[in-house]
Amino acid sequence: MWKVRTAILAAKITKWGLSIMGRKGTTLPGAIALRICPNLLDFYGNQLSGRIAFVTGTNGKTTTSNLLTAFLRADGRDVISNSLGANLIQGIVAALIEGVSLQKKQSVVLEVDEATIGKVVGPLKPTVIVVTNFFRDQMDRYGEVDTVVNMVGQALQLAAGDTTVVLNADDPLVASIAPAGKNVRYFGIQSITMQMDDQGEVRDGKFCRKCGSSLQYRYYHYGQLGVYECPGCDFRRPIPDQAAEHVQLCDDRIEFQLDGERGVLNSPAFYNVYNALAAITAAKLLGVKPNVIRQEMQNLNTGLGRMEKIVVNGHQQVMLALVKNPTGCNQVLKVVSQFSKPLDLILILNDRYADGTDVSWIWDTHLERLSEQKKLRRIVTAGTRAYDMAVRCKYAGLEALTTVQEGDLEAVDRALEQLPEDHTLFIMSTYTSLYAVRDHLLRKGRESVEA
């Protein structure tokens, strides 16, 4: 026990030290604590037994975790989470050290990196594990999609018998790792009341992971997500326990029906329906009261930088979206291309470690689609790979609209200065600039309110 105490103390001192230097300290305190006490997670697993939920997968980890946290809080629970997205083992430990109090009864929602889940599933013994989806992402780190799918699949096998696994029925890669003999719940989309077009989308998992046959689809929702079955074996889309119906995009929000209840998302990005379904399924499993779920569903807030609307200088509309892989980016591009009001666009592309150091993926995005968006006035590219992005725009037929601006915040400032009345500014950014840009926008929002 002294090791646990020393580790926690050392982490807290580190965190305090970092805060004096003006840093957030989302991982270093955890790294130090683990050095002192390598099995610190066992301690937390016992403390928090029966109240931990994990969220993993390629896209939607943060949004799903935030939505689930909101459900639990609305239910009156004290919730700890790594809401800033520090989802490797050090970040998870840091979040626990910061949040866990021995005097209180707390629930924990953790988004967990796909390569980390195998290390934390044993000691923390989660009650619920949610797997959102698998897409090609950051292959500089993990090599192939298959590798990632297998890593998470093995972690699910390691989970204890009373863990419930919540899987995306519409993603064949996710459905393929349903662990035998464990409690499994599925969520999926049953019907859509809007036009979907996804020609040429990147599709991972076209082949049955059981027998290798080409999967047959009744329809696609996006990427490889849809209603599928294998002609070669018994693998097919499981019937979802939680199925969304009449999904409908309404300009700046999405509406859907779930078990006869109405759900409203504050973000027009289609993939967030899946994140909402995942969170609702997990919330029900964690015992959130039905009336709380009904109430919260009316106003689902997808959170920071996930197609988030921010008002700047009192009147300027800005939409901020994280983009980090082609599937997610194409979903955002779809919203941009169908946007009904005039707009300007900033594309920020970085290649730091957290962004993924390979920027090739931008060539798998459908920027070409924007050449048909008549309301798009201009595009500014920025970030460490601003010129790569500009080249991509040029080959997508957008050269005449595009300029390069080195320096992300400068690009945002210039764009806001030159933004015509009634125009919306869309900002799409990779991870490492997202929060800096968001903070910058919020500051401008606040200054204008104070002025």
Partner 1 sequence: MSRLKLKIGYLYPDLLEVYSDRGNVTVLQKRSEWRGIECQVDRITIGDQRDLSDYDLLFSGGGEDREQLLVAEDLLRKRESLFQAVASGTVVFTICGSYQLLGHYFETIGGKKIEGVGLLDLYTIGGSKRLVGNSVCETELVGKVHTLVGYENHSGRTYLGDSTPALASVVAGQGNNGGDGKEGAAKGSVFGTYLHGPILSKNPFFADHLLQLALARRTDKPVLPLLDDTWEMAAHTHIVQQYSGVSRR
Binding-site residues for Zn(2+), in ranges, read: 208, 211, 230, 233
Provide Rg for the chain, Cα atoms.
22
Q: What distance in Å separates the CA atoms of residue 384 and residue 356, rounded to the nearest whole number?
A: 12
Give 374's contacts (C-beta < 8 A, 6+ positions apart). none
CB of 391 to partner 1, least distance (A): 5
Options 358, 388, 422, 439, the catalytic residue: 358
Residue 50: exposed, middle, or buried by beta-carbon count in 10 A (0-12, 13-18, 19+)? exposed
Tell me the C-alpha to C-alpha distance, in Å, between residue 80 and each of 47, 104, 159, 232.
13, 11, 21, 45
Interior angle at CA 193, CA 288 and CA 293, nearest 5: 10
Q: What distance in Å separates the CA atoms of residue 216 and residue 74, rounded to the nearest whole number?
A: 41
Report the residue number, 10 or 139, with the smaller CB distance to partner 1: 139
Report the residue number, 134 or 187, with the smaller CB distance to partner 1: 134
Report the residue number, 45 or 326, with the smaller CB distance to partner 1: 326
CB of 294 to partner 1, least distance (A): 43
Report the residue number, 16 or 387, with the smaller CB distance to partner 1: 387
CB of 387 to partner 1, least distance (A): 4
CB of 302 to partner 1, least distance (A): 27
Strands 183-189 vs 164-168: parallel, antiparallel or unpaired: parallel
CB of 326 to partner 1, least distance (A): 8
Q: Which residues are annotated as a binding site?
A: 208, 211, 230, 233
Residue 358 bears catalytic tag: yes
Positions touching partner 1 (CB under 8 A) are 136, 139-140, 143-146, 202, 206-207, 212, 326, 357-364, 384-385, 387-388, 390-392, 394-395, 404
CB of 203 to partner 1, least distance (A): 9
Q: Is the distance from CB of 218 to CB of 227 less than 8 angstroms?
A: yes
Report the residue number, 143 or 181, with the smaller CB distance to partner 1: 143
CB of 366 to partner 1, least distance (A): 12
Q: Is the distance from CB of 337 to CB of 329 less than 8 angstroms?
A: no
Report the residue number, 72 or 332, with the smaller CB distance to partner 1: 332
Q: Is the distance from CB of 273 to CB of 302 less than 8 angstroms?
A: no
Q: Is the distance from CB of 302 to CB of 67 less than 8 angstroms?
A: yes
Tokens of 355: 């962004």
Taking residue 370's Cβ as centre, other Cβ atoms within 10 Å add up to 19
Give helix 40-47 / helix 117-124 axis angle, nearest 10°.
50
Write out the DSSP string of 178-216.
Answer: PPTTSEEEEEEE--B-S----TT---S--B-TTT-PBPE
Report the residue number, 144 or 439, with the smaller CB distance to partner 1: 144
Going 170 to 173 to 174 to 176, the CA torsion angle's sign is positive
Residue positions annotated with a catalytic role:
358
